[in-house]
């Protein structure tokens, strides 16, 4: 068989697999956001129905001359509780939509600029900025990479990934015996690029949780108001924008590790 044909066929298969992975990711996001937003919407539909029934009863009492102070006071108290619940659910839905927007791979002018960048300097500047501006002093960064790593990539996307991963550490890595966390960022040569590894020494997660962390809306701290989108954002940025595979590993009390390969990307 012709070598050129073989290469072309292999490339076509890879492109189909890549497109399939993108569609699976989009499908998961759509299903996830539908499920999450249906909950506050469903509660608000029930609240609106109840409020309309209370208004009908109030009108009937008023029309029949039976509306007294006690009935009106009861209506005010109940309607205040209902509207308060409605507001909280609308705020929750709004927060979920805002988080959902972050999952989509950014196509802004800044994020779509492909540049030849010194990744070592970029990461060092991120660490310095975080340490200067953050109020959280329970995290220490340990950089492990040479002073000059030149890669053609999307610097704004790398910053977004670093921000999401650091935020994940702040939310999930601390616990008894892990009040202070260390984040080790390692960048090492790997084939035609560099392996980028982001590791914390926090509480870690179970094997079952590890399988789900990249899924949209999966979180172990939903009760604390987390939408579960941070690592899903990272997954989509690495897979789609950086055109790389992403790996994770963890054990309870053994920290959490995310790694992916930094390729030299070509402009489309």
Of the candidates 77, 86, 100, the one whose C-alpha atom is nearest the C-alpha of residue 40 is 86
Residue 234's pLDDT band (cuts 50, 70, 90): confident
Question: Interior CA angle at 178 toward 162 and 247, to 5°?
Answer: 40
Of the candidates 159, 166, 195, 158, the one whose C-alpha atom is nearest the C-alpha of residue 183 is 166
> Does residue 244 have a pLDDT over 70?
yes
Q: Which two tokens stand for residue 187?
A: 């960048």
Of the candidates 234, 237, 244, the one whose C-alpha atom is nearest the C-alpha of residue 213 is 234
For 3-103, give the CATH class.
mainly alpha
pLDDT at 4 (0 to 100): 47
What would the pLDDT profile of 41-90 be if each residue is shown by its tens digit?
A: 888 888 899 999 999 999 999 999 999 999 999 999 999 999 998 898 88
> Does residue 12 have a pLDDT over 80?
no
Domain boundaries, the chain: 3-103, 115-262
User: According to the per-residue pLDDT averaged within each range, which of 31-40, 126-135, 192-201, 226-235 is highest?
Assistant: 192-201
Bigger pLDDT: 35 or 226?
35
Question: Interior CA angle at 80 toward 79 and 84, to 5°?
Answer: 115
Of the candidates 173, 164, 171, 166, the one whose C-alpha atom is nearest the C-alpha of residue 202 is 173
Q: How far apart are CA 53 and CA 56, in angstroms?
A: 5
CATH code linked to domain 115-262: 3.30.565.10
Q: Which parts of the chain are beta strand (E)?
A: 115-118, 139-144, 150-153, 181-190, 193-200, 246-250, 256-262
Bigger pLDDT: 24 or 256?
256
pLDDT at 5 (0 to 100): 43
Residue 39's pLDDT band (cuts 50, 70, 90): confident
What would the pLDDT profile of 157-178 be if each residue is shown by its tens digit?
A: 999 899 888 888 888 776 666 6
Contacts of 69 (CB under 8 A, 6+ apart): none
Bigger pLDDT: 188 or 210?
188
Q: State the DSSP code for 140.
A: E
């Amino acid at each position: 068989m012709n070598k050129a044909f073989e290469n072309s066929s292999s490339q076509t298969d890879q492109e189909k697999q890549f497109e399939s992975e993108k569609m699976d990711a989009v499908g998961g996001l759509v299903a996830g956001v539908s499920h999450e937003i249906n909950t506050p919407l469903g509660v608000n539909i029930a609240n609106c129905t109840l409020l309309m029934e209370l208004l009908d009863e109030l009108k009937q009492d008023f029309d029949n001359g039976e509306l007294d102070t006690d009935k009106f006071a009861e209506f005010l108290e109940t309607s205040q509780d209902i509207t308060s619940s409605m507001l909280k659910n609308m705020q929750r839905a709004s927060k979920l939509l805002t988080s959902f927007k972050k999952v989509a791979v950014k196509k802004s002018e800044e994020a779509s600029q492909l540049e030849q960048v010194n990744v070592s300097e970029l990461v060092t500047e991120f660490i310095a900025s975080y340490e200067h501006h953050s109020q959280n002093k329970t995290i220490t960064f340990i950089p492990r990479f040479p002073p000059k790593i030149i890669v053609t990539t999307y610097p704004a996307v790398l910053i977004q990934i670093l921000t999401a991963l650091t935020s994940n550490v702040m939310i999930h890595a601390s616990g008894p015996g892990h009040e202070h966390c260390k984040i080790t960022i390692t960048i090492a040569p790997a084939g035609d690029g560099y392996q980028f590894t982001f590791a914390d020494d926090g509480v870690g997660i179970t094997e079952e949780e590890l399988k789900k962390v990249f899924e949209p809306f999966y979180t172990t701290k939903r009760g604390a108001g987390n939408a579960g989108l941070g690592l899903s954002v990272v997954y989509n940025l690495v897979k789609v924008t950086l055109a790389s595979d992403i790996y994770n590993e963890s054990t309870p009390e053994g920290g959490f590790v995310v790694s992916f390969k930094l390729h030299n990307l070509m402009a489309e």
